[in-house]
Amino acid sequence: MRIELASRGDVAAILDIANWAAAHLASNFALQPEPLDEWLAAYDRTHERYPWLVAREGDRVVGFAKAGPHRARGAYAWTAEMTVYVHPDHHRRGIARALYARLIPTLQAQGYVTLLAGIASPHPPSEKLHEAFGFRRCATFHRMGFKFGRWHDVGYWELQLRDGEPAPIKTVREAMG
């Protein structure tokens, strides 16, 4: 398995994994398959400042992790929100862990200060993954999404990467050298 930066050409495979999760899991709040053009636009808008990573076995994308902005206002510039998904045929093989083991140091090298992850509760595998990387639950938002006939809470998890005054954020390529 290889972990590498995603290219624009990988976005369709990434979306296939996300759309499978949306159709089968309460942890993804999409109610309908999301269109490729929206994901391509998000990639184009964010990939230079926020990493998009893929896990490959051979030529096949078997998982992805990406970061994105938490909020648009300027003071949020040093906070990134993260997500990770693995193809259902490849669960419990350490793929999510391998993706985060590359994503988190990249975000730290870029200069991000706080990382966030929203996790539909309860979701023990995701909660354990985040705890293993030092995330701590910092909030619970109740009845945030209605899916599969019931309400779901969302827990927010945070990881503080550094203290002090922040430096300008580097691009993904600058941070990865």
User: For position 136, what pLDDT does the model report?
Assistant: 97
Average pLDDT over residues 141-157: 96
pTM > 0.85: yes or no: yes
- 32 pLDDT band, cuts 50/70/90, is very high
User: Can you name the CATH fold of 2-176?
Assistant: Aminopeptidase (3.40.630)
Nearest residue to 27 (alpha-carbon basis) of 97, 86, 93: 86
Residue 35 DSSP label: P
User: For position 122, what pLDDT does the model report?
Assistant: 87
